[in-house]
């Protein structure tokens, strides 16, 4: 099921106060990532961190969900400047229709980013700036990313369900959507994001 309106949630980050989703004061960019320490997730989140001030200036709050425990996430995300939510039972993933599939890593479009992420992540681990992910991942390693831009009244302004592990909105795409919230967002399939069965696919 693809949702067009989000019911009220109070999400508890691994650190900091609870986060209201939706937030009547600003847009919420709800990201679904993979597991704590995931190299491709870290590669993408670095770009979000670098431009976090721009994102906030556009009236957007970042909320990032992982299917790892809070304890494990704290080892990997303590320095991130936005809310990180643990969902080890994948309840939010199921609610928002976020899936796992072999194509997460088998899609050739993912191979370049995955290789670069592993190489860069290994260098950061060697320098003591990052930690290796746990060898066992109860939630699996085949998760697909997803992005939702949620208005203050709960409407899903735009949504993207990734087709592979590194298929998500860039910061530029997010800012474009955030500054034109009344414009229906259309992906390659030509369907309006936010419709109950729609996917916003940008390839």
Write the CATH number for 53: 3.40.30.10
How many domains are there within the chain? 1
Is 184 among the domain residues? no
pLDDT over threshold 50, residue 201: no
Q: Which domain holds residue 134?
A: 9-178
Is 46 among the domain residues? yes
Mean pLDDT of the chain: 84
Is 4 among the domain residues? no
pLDDT over threshold 70, residue 27: yes
Is 159 among the domain residues? yes
Is 198 among the domain residues? no
- Measured distance CA(1)–CA(93) in Å, rounded: 11
What is the model's pTM? 0.82
What average pLDDT does this structure show over 155-180? Answer: 95
Residue 189: predicted pLDDT: 31
Is 127 among the domain residues? yes
Is 138 among the domain residues? yes
What average pLDDT does this structure show over 116-144? Answer: 70
Is 85 among the domain residues? yes
What average pLDDT does this structure show over 74-100? Answer: 93
């Amino acid at each position: 099921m693809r949702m067009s309106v989000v019911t009220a949630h109070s999400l508890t980050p691994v650190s900091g106060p609870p986060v209201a989703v939706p937030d009547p004061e600003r847009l919420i960019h709800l990201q679904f990532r993979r597991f704590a320490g995931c190299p491709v997730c870290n590669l993408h989140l670095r770009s979000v961190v670098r431009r976090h001030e721009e994102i906030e200036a556009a009236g957007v709050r970042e909320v990032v969900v992982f299917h790892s425990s809070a304890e494990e996430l704290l080892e990997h995300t303590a320095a991130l400047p936005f809310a990180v939510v643990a969902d080890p039972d994948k309840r939010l993933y199921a609610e928002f229709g976020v899936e796992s599939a072999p194509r997460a890593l088998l899609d050739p479009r993912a191979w370049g980013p995955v290789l670069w992420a592993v190489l860069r992540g290994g260098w950061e681990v060697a320098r003591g700036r990052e930690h290796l992910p746990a060898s066992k991942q109860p939630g699996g390693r085949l998760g697909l990313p997803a992005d939702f831009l949620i208005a203050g009244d709960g409407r899903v302004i735009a949504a993207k369900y990734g087709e592979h592990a590194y298929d998500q909105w860039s910061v530029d795409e997010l800012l474009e959507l955030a500054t034109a919230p009344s414009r229906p967002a259309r992906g390659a399939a030509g369907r309006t994001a936010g419709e109950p069965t729609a996917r916003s696919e940008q390839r």
